[in-house]
A and B are shown apart, each in its own frame.
Chain A
């Protein structure tokens, strides 16, 4: 990247990062009514979103579109393997659609209902949505999906479905697992220093997913240690293969938590449920991304961190606004946003 492009990207990132709404701020928004939330969002992010009471999906689409527009701007200075890495990373958004499609078709949900749940990703769409929705049965859809860029991921999902049936968690985890393996593979083609910095941010995410999947596979699905370990994704910062293999052999959640390396042991020590642990781990992985965005000089790691944080912000805001629109009480919204005490 040229000096000019670096300066451009650095400035862009600084401006965009200053507009990010932190998780704590979002939690404070829960106490406000919808109008004041939108005013706060406008004040902090600079974006003015329209609320359509008749169509709650409209605000979700706007939030996603704004984020994707920003990613397009951030991607401009990149080329070659760096660009390919970020283009792949942004596919995370499309995975949401992929999961909606697979779950929907396997559950026999009507195509129009599935369509309503899909996010309009505009130029980021790789999936032939119209043809997929027109599929009359799930296997027809899988055959179609196998011809797309997601063919590898879909084949894994098909195998999981045939093995365990329409279990939403297992299907989602299988799709995410393949995505992270491929993402790490793309990161290998980055320059050494960039790859190391990006891996640091990615590592937090991978630790989070691996630990939570391990807990669920072992203690909710009661799978064997070997199979539980096999279904994990590529390794992250602190939970390396040997560590995960050791944890997989343990017989209770408490035993696993007690054997975790720091800071995970300290963070999860007094938390009872796996879903609460999920939230703490997510918050921690986002704090790693925030550190990289605000304190590290590496532009690739900062860009990747921004994408991670912005994706989480969009998700939290969607949950908050949707909750308010549907008139849910604050505790329920807080739960949906993943706020734990």
Chain B
């Protein structure tokens, strides 16, 4: 029996409104329900009873998230409880957090503005330094003359050209005396009568003027000290606001903790807002559940719900298969390979779960291409180091490493040395042609298995015509086997007779006929489509099979690389020899190991999965408790 995603049942639960939240919590605790939006009952059950609850939940959750980012230490783990959450509770807490957030946001805005101000003062202080060597009475900048107005300040360089042109429409002038980091330090001067108009313009250009305090009477150094004092004061203010913010959070820790607990319990019911339909106190919930959990669901709901309810389970119908979610059987060993399968796509509900076959063929191919007792052992041992943080890497690495060790014994290869360990079979270099032929045979077997899986998937999905007559179906398999036989006859017996022709032509004719029936459009278009697709079918089978030559090529390459390392090492003294062999082996393990791992994955994805696996399944996403 081939592994497939778990059997699913469509569940329909009719209950009274008061029990809806308890049901959501019970189902979330079991993690068994993939909610389903029900269009059929929508005409009768027009209300969404959880919508208001969800709206408040959403606001509360968002505010909680924003405020939590200011927490310096994480909150305690949420309390596990089955206590129901009322809409009032959510609303009260939401109001509290809304007020709290308003205070935090106001402080944040103050800090932002103050920070900007500090930046401006620093720029002005920088401006002032340019005057420090001058014997200039800066008091003039405050004592605006009756006729002349002079202002010193900064303006972003990007605004400068436009500002200069705009000022030319007035009687003012602007002069840059220093530029740094996109800021121009400028002097603006002109007649006092136009100061209002120019002030407005300067403000739009983000001009920041240097303000000379009233008490200032002296040199630039005094003004510099004044600016330093302003920065100090601004920073002290910011520090004070940050402190206030921190105290505000601390003072509201209890509310935040309650919000966290409440949100955890409210989530299951809130997440059903778009699927839970109701009318007049009756509520209907629909979804997909694993068939094996049917009894557990029935029992738990009977225990948790206070009022009578009706629970219906039904098998998915064929036309629903595309929408049934796929839940793969959990397996500690296969988990990392399942991850790689999901990278390509999720198996459809009735499709074969290829994880097991994928794991087996991947590990075997890795060993074939990278067969070496020493290198395999290193990979397996190094993989163990990742066990705590990345257990998936460890599983794949250990299995691939062990496979490499196994094929190392087959090839008699240890750290590239070919004559230390006796080969159980032979070193690939001894007869490369035989190795290449075996790789082609392996590829042919791989493609046949992929074709068989495709046929099985077509039958399971009820696509009988495709299973029998398409290029990926029985006709395609027949053509592939016949073509392989014919190629064998030509290559080894130099013979191609009527039988061979008939064996190849017959399934091809079936495929062409099927494609002809499937295509639409004008005659010329159909002829073109059928011709191109037929040709593509032949080419893809040939190229797919030859693609597996890389299995042999990499096993040869592995030995050739080792030989190159030894050749270089042989030209050096004993120390140099040792270092070269060591570095060479590291190079082979890291670089060739990575290339072989990728090539194996490529063969699996493009020569395997693409032939039998749609990858269009929908992942099973259960309702669950989540913080």
- Interface residues of A, Cβ cutoff 8 Å to B: 134, 136-137, 139-140, 143, 159-160, 163, 181, 224-227, 229-232, 241, 245, 248-249
Contact = CB atoms under 8 A, between A and B. Distances in A.
Interface string B182-221: 0000000000000001101101111000000000000000
A143 B112 contact: yes
A248 B169 contact: yes
B105 A227 contact: no
Contacts of B47: none
Contacts of B529: none
B170 A226 contact: yes
A115 to B, nearest CB: 12
A249 B168 CA distance: 11
Contacts of A159: 204, 206
Contacts of A224: 169-170, 197, 200-201
A52 to B, nearest CB: 16
Contacts of B63: 136
B397 to A, nearest CB: 36
Given A136-B63, A143-B112, A230 B98 contact: no
B384 interface: no
Nearest to B97: A136
A139 B116 CA distance: 15
Contact of B201 (A137, A181, A226, A245): A226
Given A137-B102, A159-B204, A224-B201, A229 B108 contact: no
10 contacts: A137-B105, A139-B109, A140-B108, A159-B204, A160-B204, A163-B204, A224-B169, A227-B201, A229-B169, A230-B162
A190 to B, nearest CB: 20
B345 to A, nearest CB: 20
Contacts of A134: 62, 66
Given A137-B102, A140-B108, A245-B168, 12 more contacts: A140-B105, A160-B204, A163-B203, A181-B158, A224-B169, A224-B197, A226-B167, A226-B169, A227-B166, A229-B165, A230-B204, A245-B165
Contacts of B158: 181
Nearest to B65: A134
A340 to B, nearest CB: 31
Contacts of B200: 224, 227
A225 B198 CA distance: 11
A224 B65 CA distance: 47
Interface of B: 62-63, 66, 98, 101-102, 105, 108-109, 112, 158, 162-163, 165-170, 197-198, 200-201, 203-206
Nearest to A234: B162
Nearest to A162: B203
Nearest to A156: B206
B225 to A, nearest CB: 30
Contacts of B166: 226-227, 229-230
Contacts of B170: 224, 226
Contacts of B168: 245
Contacts of B205: 230
A226 B162 contact: no
Contacts of B197: 224, 226-227
Contacts of A229: 162, 165-166, 169
Contacts of A136: 63, 98, 101-102, 105
A249 B169 CA distance: 8
Contacts of B62: 134
Nearest to B58: A134
B165 A241 contact: yes
- Of B63, B163, B198, B204, chain A has the most CB atoms within 10 Å of the CB of B204
B169 A139 contact: no
Contacts of A163: 203-204
A229 B161 CA distance: 12
A176 to B, nearest CB: 15
- Of B98, B169, B198, chain A has the most CB atoms within 10 Å of the CB of B169
A160 B204 CA distance: 7
A293 B168 CA distance: 39
B198 A226 contact: yes
Contacts of A227: 166, 197, 200-201, 204
B112 to A, nearest CB: 6
B163 A230 contact: yes
B553 to A, nearest CB: 32
A49 to B, nearest CB: 23
Contacts of A160: 204
Contacts of B105: 136-137, 139-140
Given A224-B197, A227-B201, A143 B169 contact: no
A180 B32 CA distance: 53
A143 B108 contact: yes
- Across chains A and B, which 6 residue pairs bring their CB atoms closest together, nearest first? A230-B166, A226-B169, A134-B62, A226-B166, A227-B201, A224-B197
Contacts of B101: 136
B169 A225 contact: yes
B169 A245 contact: yes
A163 B98 CA distance: 28
A245 B164 CA distance: 12
B109 A230 contact: no
Contacts of B112: 143
A245 B102 CA distance: 45
A183 B184 CA distance: 23
Contacts of B108: 140, 143
A338 B210 CA distance: 48
Nearest to A146: B112
Nearest to B162: A230
B532 to A, nearest CB: 20
- Of A136, A160, A245, chain B has the most CB atoms within 10 Å of the CB of A136
Nearest to A182: B158
A165 to B, nearest CB: 14
B107 to A, nearest CB: 11
B206 A230 contact: no
A136 B63 CA distance: 9
B67 to A, nearest CB: 11
Contacts of B163: 230
Contacts of B102: 136-137
A174 to B, nearest CB: 10
A120 B353 CA distance: 36
A231 B200 CA distance: 12
Contacts of A232: 162
A68 to B, nearest CB: 25
A202 B197 CA distance: 32
A241 B169 CA distance: 12
A175 to B, nearest CB: 15
Nearest to A225: B169
- Of A160, A229, A241, chain B has the most CB atoms within 10 Å of the CB of A229
Contacts of B162: 229-230, 232
A94 to B, nearest CB: 22
A298 B437 CA distance: 55
Nearest to A233: B162
Contacts of A241: 165
Contact of A231 (B98, B167, B169, B204): B204
A226 B169 CA distance: 5
A163 B200 CA distance: 9
A316 B508 CA distance: 54
Nearest to A130: B62
A159 B155 CA distance: 14
- Of A136, A160, A230, chain B has the most CB atoms within 10 Å of the CB of A230
Contacts of A248: 169
A269 to B, nearest CB: 26
Contacts of A181: 158
Nearest to A181: B158
